[in-house]
Amino acid sequence: MFNRAILAVLAGAIMLAVAPLAQAVEIRHDLGTTEVPDAPKRIVVLEYSFVDSLAAVGVAPVGIADDDTRESIVPAYTAVIGDDWKSVGTRKSPSLEVIASLQPDLIIADTSRHEAIYGALSEIAPTIAFDSLTGTYQVALEAAKTIAHAVGKDAEMEARLAEHTTRMEGFKAAIGDVSAWSAQFIVDNGEGIFLHSPVSYNGSLLAWFGFNNNMPTPDGHTYEEAIVKTSLEQLSEINPQVILRGKYADPGLTDSWVGQPLYDNVEAVKTGNLVDVNAHEWSRLRGVIASEVSGANLVEIVKHLKK
């Protein structure tokens, strides 16, 4: 009996020793392949879209790059994740020291923003990276699925994406046929305007709903190709029929253009189809939940467009 007891203890010890290895999940991502511990509990995210992905499956991160503004994590997210998380600084330059202090078991980073510090992040914890900054709507959904797999929530994400598809198709049906309209999302920060091109998240989302885009489609997906700084003359040449404007300054630069013939004769301005939207929600948030917020916005916006 004594020998049996020893064997049982040894067997249990061996099982405990090999369990972490057996349960590790291998995740392929934009910057390589990373072994992630099974169902990580202490997750740090360095982009808003990754907050979106976790909230979509009911997982709360311990750290968020919130640009040092807690209010940037919108109620649609905090309703799920709560507010018991620590800021790790800005998305562009997150604090490695603060991240390390949280003792994360998973970090989710942006491919382009954080490639230069990927090695340092990986020394702190297993790190996976996805193209949030310049990725399309479809890229955001694919990243959400991979993130769900990394945190052990495949079934939950499958169910949530089925719900998402139903909601988005409902919005599309309510919006109707908008193929006759060219729509353009722009950001006005008071000093410049930035057009989100067809290869951007918002450009691809508007295309998914059926809108056309008068901007030429770039060959690549760099930041400069996705988010294009534009002059009044260039906006006049693109001449969208609908403008969705996100203003980070009031008055914005476009307000100073009112009365100038080039601006007043832009089709969207001339017909009254320039619509102000929430700049933060439209230009910075991406993912399952964010796209549903945008879809609901578009349903109401299209009701008031002047044909």
Q: What domains sit in the chain, N to C, each tagged with a CATH number? A: 24-153 (3.40.50.1980), 166-303 (3.40.50.1980)
Residue 264 in tokens: 């007043």
pLDDT in tens, 79-131: 999 999 999 999 999 999 999 999 999 999 999 999 999 999 999 999 999 99
DSSP 283: H
Question: Could you give the CA distance from residue 268 to residue 271 in angstroms, rounded to a whole number?
Answer: 5
pLDDT in tens, 142-152: 999 999 999 99
Q: Please tell me the number of Cα atoms within 13 Å of 111 on its side-chain side.
A: 17
pLDDT of 16 > 60? The answer is no
Q: Provide the sign of the torsion angle of the four alpha carbons 107, 111, 114, 117, taken in this order.
A: positive
The model's pTM is 0.90
pLDDT given for residue 223 in this prediction: 87
